[in-house]
């Protein structure tokens, strides 16, 4: 796996690139276990909607998904 040093000096996986939202996702969520029914249901739902789309597209639309699905 290749890494990249961000402008903030933090090493991240290369797939993050220079996108701030992807960096936040990488630092705060990616690779961390989820606990609780709501969190797991949200993740499974988003994975389903992701079919054919990039994950960053889903991450950017997540606030709207939460709104229309009443917080999952």
Within 10 angstroms of residue 16's Cβ, the number of other Cβ atoms is 22
Catalytic residue, chosen from 22, 25, 42, 67, is 25
The answer to whether residue 47 is catalytic is: yes
Catalytic residue among 29, 30, 47, 67: 47
Answer yes or no: 55 catalytic. Answer: yes
From the list 15, 30, 55, 67, the catalytic residue is: 55
Task: Point out the residues that are catalytic.
Answer: 25, 47, 55
């Amino acid at each position: 796996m290749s890494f990249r040093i961000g402008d903030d000096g933090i090493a991240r996986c290369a797939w993050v690139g220079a996108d701030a939202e992807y960096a936040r996702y990488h630092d705060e969520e990616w690779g961390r276990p989820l606990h609780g029914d709501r969190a797991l249901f949200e993740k499974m739902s988003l994975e389903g909607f992701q079919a054919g789309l990039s994950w960053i597209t889903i991450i950017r639309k997540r606030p709207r998904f939460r709104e229309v699905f009443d917080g999952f």
